[in-house]
């Protein structure tokens, strides 16, 4: 009986062991050992003279006579700053965690890495995101897998054309002539004619013929063709310009400049593709992608859109007299000069400092704020080509010491219930808010009553 009990216990034990064997085979062995301490893995790049980067393409760069070149084409216009960024990344390479015993390189994206770099004794492989650790897996060829929180992929993830050193417009401090040629349109020629006394105000710089242009709008237009940022490089040694629409350009911008040294700058724009245009500078064989916003601004430019966008551009300190005509009466204000008076307790005045003040019939009048309201008046729209259709509400005549423009005549006409039409020396210029003109009228009325 006792032997039978023992046998039954042994059989039961064997049954339990048999059931546990399959379970035991599914328990994973300890696979990884992580060291949380950081590790410095930087490479001494001072004497490095060869660098191979394999990502989208396999590219090799060599250092010759202190400069880096693209081995396959030494004439390639290489942006060495990007090579420097790669070297800096290798020199500063470090890990936040080390994995001594990896399951397999495949587990970390290192069997087919996003990028592989050969630099001297180091073979850097850059793998997958280490999502749980907030970093990226990489290896250096020493049998370990590392995790870094640094962005070590971006400095290497370039195609060949991404590494072109992009050309920029030359420094142009003094522009003389800007010529814009476009298919189907007359050339637009803008000249710097400041100082030629072509206009009532010396502050105008840019002219089409003898017509002044708004300085800010004109210079914004020019910057679309000089200060733009290329969207990328399409070809670095183009041989057939017709492939890019540049044999007969859609647009050609030519700038003649005299400072800091005399020269000519050209921009040619070709075919549009997917919201961008092919373009090149100064007959270069490097073809870039140019943003459509810049190109369209140049294509659509016209003189009318560049006309002055102010009511009056006047240096009142140079005025010899200001005459206001309203309600059938004329009032003449004349300037006088005196030592500058302190207006506020905190205001400082310099010894001998002068100021201009205004007289009406020999008595001082606070005309300064009224004049400032004219020059600060904001137009609502252009009135080019319009003619006054209602009565004149206010006329301001400025006398000045200018042989060609001894008088500047500014008139305000009622146009609608909301706006007034402005003429300058008899030519319609802009529309302004009628409320602003009414306020100006009332301010002058208070001075003359």
Give CA angle at 249 (248, 250), nearest 5°. Answer: 125
Exposed e or buried b for every residue in 400-416, given b needs 16+ CB within 10 A? bebeeeeebebbbbbbe
Domain that holds residue 271: 174-306
Short-list 167, 286, 280, 165, CA closest to 237 = 286
Question: Taking a C-beta distance cutoff of 8 angstroms, is the pair 86, 158 a contact?
Answer: no
HEC string of the chain equals CHHHHHHHHHHHHHHHHHHHHHHHHCCCCCCCCEECCCEECCCCCCCCCEEEEECCCEEEEEEECCEEEECCCCCCCECHHHHHHHHHHHHCCEECEEECCCCCHHHHCCCCCCEEEEECCEEEEEEEEEHHHCEEEEECCCCCEEEECCCCCHHHCCCCHHHECCCCCCCCCEEEEEEEEECCCCCEEEEECCCCCCCCCCCCCEEECCEECCHHHHHHHHHCCCCCCCCEEEECCCCCHHHHCCCCCCEEEEEEEEECCCEEEEEEEEEEECCEEEEEECCCCCEEEEEHHHHHHHHCCCHHHHCCCCCCCCCHHHEEEEEEEECCEEEEEEEEEEECCCCCCCCCCCCCCEEEEEEECCEEECCHHHHHHHHCCCEEEECCCCCCCCCEEEEEEEEECCCCCCEEEEEEEECCCCEEEEEECCEEEEEEEHHHHHHHHHHHHHHHC
Is 12 inside a domain boundary? no
Report d(CA 23, CA 269) in Å as an integer.
72
- Say if residue 201 is in the same domain as residue 155: no
Place of tokens 């009224």: 370
- Say if residue 433 is in the same domain as residue 393: yes
Contacts of 42 (CB under 8 A, 6+ apart): 90, 91, 92, 93, 94
Question: Taking a C-beta distance cutoff of 8 angstroms, is the pair 200, 402 a contact?
Answer: yes
Report d(CA 88, CA 82) in Å as an integer.
10
Per-residue pLDDT tens digits for 104-127? 667 799 999 999 999 999 999 999
- Say if residue 60 is in the same domain as residue 150: yes
End-to-end CA separation in angstroms for the chain: 137
Residue that terminates a domain, selected from 134, 163, 192 = 163
Contacts of 34 (CB under 8 A, 6+ apart): 97, 98, 99, 100
pLDDT for res 276:
97
Q: What is the domain-level CATH number for residue 256? A: 2.60.40
Please state the domain count of the chain: 3
Is 44 inside a domain boundary? yes
Is 346 inside a domain boundary? no
**How many CA atoms are closer than 13 Å to the CA of 270, on its beta-carbon side?**
21
Contacts of 16 (CB under 8 A, 6+ apart): none
Residue that terminates a domain, selected from 280, 306, 332 = 306
**How many CA atoms are closer than 13 Å to the CA of 441, on its beta-carbon side?**
19
- Say if residue 324 is in the same domain as residue 289: no
pLDDT for res 101:
61
pLDDT for res 427:
93
Tokens of 312: 């009056």
- Say if residue 188 is in the same domain as residue 103: no
- Say if residue 140 is in the same domain as residue 158: yes
Is 19 inside a domain boundary? no
Question: pLDDT tens digits for the chain (449 residues)?
Answer: 444 444 444 444 455 445 544 434 333 334 445 555 568 899 999 999 999 999 989 999 999 999 999 999 999 999 999 999 999 999 999 999 998 765 566 779 999 999 999 999 999 999 999 877 679 999 999 889 999 999 999 999 999 999 999 999 999 999 999 999 999 999 999 999 999 999 999 999 999 999 999 999 999 999 999 999 999 999 999 999 999 999 999 999 999 999 999 999 999 999 999 999 999 999 999 999 999 999 999 999 999 889 998 999 999 988 999 999 999 999 999 999 988 776 655 556 566 678 889 999 999 999 999 999 999 999 999 998 899 999 999 999 999 999 899 999 999 999 999 999 999 999 999 999 999 999 999 999 999 98
Short-list 286, 288, 281, 284, CA closest to 265 = 281
What is the pTM (predicted TM-score) of this model?
0.81
pLDDT for res 342:
61
Per-residue pLDDT tens digits for 18-59? 554 443 433 333 444 555 556 889 999 999 999 999 998 999
- Say if residue 195 is in the same domain as residue 302: yes
Tokens of 20: 């546990």
Is 55 inside a domain boundary? yes
- Say if residue 98 is in the same domain as residue 116: yes
Is 4 inside a domain boundary? no
- Say if residue 260 is in the same domain as residue 141: no
């Amino acid at each position: 009986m006792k032997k039978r009990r023992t046998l039954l216990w042994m059989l039961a034990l064997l049954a339990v062991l048999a059931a546990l064997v399959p379970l035991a085979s599914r328990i994973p062995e300890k696979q990884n050992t992580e060291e949380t301490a950081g590790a410095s893995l930087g490479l001494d790049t001072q004497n490095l003279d060869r660098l191979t980067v394999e990502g989208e393409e396999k590219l090799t760069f060599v250092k010759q006579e202190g400069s880096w070149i693209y081995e396959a084409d030494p004439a390639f216009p290489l942006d060495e700053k990007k090579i420097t960024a790669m070297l800096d990344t290798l020199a500063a390479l470090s890990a936040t965690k080390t994995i001594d015993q990896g399951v397999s390189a495949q587990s970390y994206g290192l069997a087919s890495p996003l990028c592989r770099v050969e630099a001297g004794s180091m073979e850097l492989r850059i793998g997958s995101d280490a999502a749980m650790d907030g970093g990226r897996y990489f290896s250096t060829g020493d049998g370990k897998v590392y995790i870094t929180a640094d962005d070590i992929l971006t400095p290497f993830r370039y195609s060949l054309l991404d590494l072109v050193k992009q050309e920029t417009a030359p420094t142009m401090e003094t522009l003389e002539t800007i010529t814009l040629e476009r298919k189907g349109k007359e050339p637009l020629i803008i000249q710097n004619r400041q100082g030629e006394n072509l206009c009532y105000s010396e502050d105008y710089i840019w002219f089409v013929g003898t017509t002044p242009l708004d300085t800010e709008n004109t210079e914004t237009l020019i910057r679309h063709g000089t200060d733009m940022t290329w969207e990328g490089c399409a070809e670095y040694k183009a041989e057939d310009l017709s492939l890019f629409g540049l044999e007969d350009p859609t647009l050609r911008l030519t700038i003649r400049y005299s400072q800091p040294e005399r020269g000519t700058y050209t921009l040619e724009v070709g075919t549009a593709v997917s919201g961008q245009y092919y373009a090149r500078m100064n007959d270069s064989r490097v073809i870039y992608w140019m943003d459509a916003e810049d190109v369209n601004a140049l294509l659509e430019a016209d003189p009318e859109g560049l006309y002055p966008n102010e009511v009056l551009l006047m240096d009142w300190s140079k005025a010899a007299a200001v005459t206001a005509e309203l309600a059938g009466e004329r009032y003449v204000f004349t300037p006088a000069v005196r030592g500058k008076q302190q207006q506020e307790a905190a205001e400082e005045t310099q010894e001998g400092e002068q100021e201009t003040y205004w007289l009406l019939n020999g008595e001082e009048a606070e005309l300064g704020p009224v004049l400032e309201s004219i020059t600060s008046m904001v137009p609502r729209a252009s009135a080019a080509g319009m003619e006054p259709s209602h009565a004149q509400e206010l006329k301001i005549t400025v006398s000045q010491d200018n042989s060609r423009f001894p008088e500047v005549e500014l008139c305000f006409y009622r146009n609608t219930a909301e706006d007034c039409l402005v003429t300058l020396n008899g030519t319609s210029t802009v529309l302004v808010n009628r409320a602003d003109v009414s306020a100006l009228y009332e301010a002058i009325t208070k001075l003359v009553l």
